[in-house]
Amino acid sequence: MCTPTLGMIVRDFLDENFPDRLCGRGGLIPWPSRSPDITPLDFFLWGFVKNIVYKIPVPSLDELKRRIVTAVQNVFPQMLENTWREIEFRF
């Protein structure tokens, strides 16, 4: 659950019903800057790519670009479908 502002009653309700899934001020997940909303890919794709790219220190900009391309090429359609299914299951 993501929201820019919440009253304490609403925040308590969401935290009780959706533990550890509230993002924003006071939540486990920080509200992303300049983002009107978060998609399931924010919770899967960028973390997946980041884990591959930064597995070991990046020595150069060219290597960083290469690793990003390689990481994205390792994302298979089934992985994305599973991500969407998981979100549908949770909500």
End-to-end CA distance of the chain: 10
Say if residue 26 is in the same domain as residue 47. no
Confidence at residue 6, expressed as pLDDT on a 0 to 100 scale: 59
Please report the pLDDT score of residue 31 as a whole number: 66
Whether residues 85 and 43 fall in one domain: yes
Range of the domain at 69: 34-90
Check whether residue 24 and residue 59 sit in a common domain: no
Q: Under a CB-based contact definition with an 8 Å cutoff, are residues 35 and 13 in contact? A: no
| Res 77: pLDDT | 87
Give the model's pLDDT for residue 84.
76
Beta-carbon contacts of residue 62 (< 8 Å; ≥ 6 apart): none
> Which pLDDT score is estimated for 12?
81
pLDDT by residue (tens digit) across 5-57? 557 787 788 778 877 777 666 666 766 665 656 676 777 888 889 999 999 99
Q: Are residues 21 and 6 in the same domain?
A: yes
